[in-house]
Structure 1
Amino acid sequence: MNLTDAELVIMNLLWEKGELKANQISDYMISEKDWKKNTTYTLINRLIKKQAIERSDPGFVCKPLIEVEEVRIKETKLLLEKIYQGSFKLLVQNFIQSEEISNAEINEIKKMIEEVKHNE
């Protein structure tokens, strides 16, 4: 399932809150993102059609049907293919060279790799 950046904004809100009424989502997007009400409802309807969320009565309560981790994995794979030709090594190398990764994060990643190696 491909989600647009705008759809991800709504999904992130729902993942954070669990479930919200459609008008609560709209009010948030109006105040925080300067979106129009119709834009929000259009995006909600697209997410329903994609089976990313469900809306139930009464009150048009929206809740996510997909997990954030599922989307993160898919989006990471898409990024890996699109930008790094499928090379995880190039992705990691880019982050390390960009100096946007801290030593603490590097150590955490090392620990994660060691855990995977030990579980094989």
Structure 2
Amino acid sequence: MRKICESELKVLTVLWENGRMKAADIARQLKEDVGWSKNTTYTVIDRCVKKQLISRMDPGYICAPAFSKRRASENSMRELLENYFDGSAVRFFLTFLNISGATRAEAKEMRRILKNRMERE
């Protein structure tokens, strides 16, 4: 999967939330959400199509995401882990805890999740 820039992520997010949409409807949504012009939205859509992040079907200029939000999130996390933490989940987790401002309840929930994960292995 290719790297997704912030503007492409905005288009993908609209599609993940709404499913297949006409490009004109995406443009209306992004004008409302972030103030983009129709031309800006169409430029980003074209870039997404070229990068195979979305598919576009004619007639009607119908757009659909090429993959799920979960798959994109997992890919981004993998890249983050490799590029900034040398593949170390422990270093990633420690940094996350330091910057996240996680509440005590959230920390307990993370501990429970880790414990359950370890018991399955």
Shorter chain as normaliser: what TM range?
A: 0.7 to 0.9
Q: 1:69 deviation in Å?
A: 1.0
Which has the higher mean CA deviation after the structures are superposed, 16-25 or 80-89?
Answer: 80-89
Structure 2 gap segments, 5+ residues each? none
Q: Report the 3-state secondary structure (helix = DSSP H, G, I; strand = E; otherwise coil) of the residue aligned with 1:98.
A: helix
Task: Letter of the 2:15 partner, please give it.
Answer: L
**Deviation of 1:99 (Å):** 5.4
Indicate how the Cα distance of structure 1 residues 99 and 23 shifts in structure 2: closer, same or farther if over 3 A, else same. Answer: closer
Would you say how many aligned residue pairs link Structure 1 and Structure 2? 120
Distance 1:21 1:115 in 2: 43
Offset of 1:85 from its aligned partner? 2.8
Partner residue, 2:74: 73
Aligned residue number for residue 59 of structure 2: 58
Counterpart check, 1:48 vs 2:49: yes
What is the letter of the counterpart of residue 61 of structure 1?
I
Task: Tell me the CA shift for residue 104 of structure 1.
Answer: 2.2
Output the TM-score relative to the length of structure 2.
Answer: 0.86
Identity between Structure 1 and Structure 2 (%): 32
Change (3 A) 1:55 1:112: same
Structure 1 residues 99 and 47: CA distance shift in structure 2, 3 A: closer
Question: Equivalent residue of 2:14, what SS?
Answer: helix
The change in CA–CA distance for 1:99 and 1:77 in structure 2 (over 3 A counts) is closer
| Deviation for aligned residue 1:98 | 2.9
Determine the structure 2 residue equivalent to 1:94.
Answer: 95
**Equivalent position SS for 2:56:** strand
Write out per-residue CA displacement over residues 5-38 of structure 1, whole angstroms, 9 at most, x where no aligned residue. 1101111111111121100111122222122222
* Structure 2 CA distance for aligned equivalents of residues 29 and 16 of structure 1: 13
TM-score (norm 1): 0.87
Q: Distance in 2 between matches of 1:99 and 1:86?
A: 20
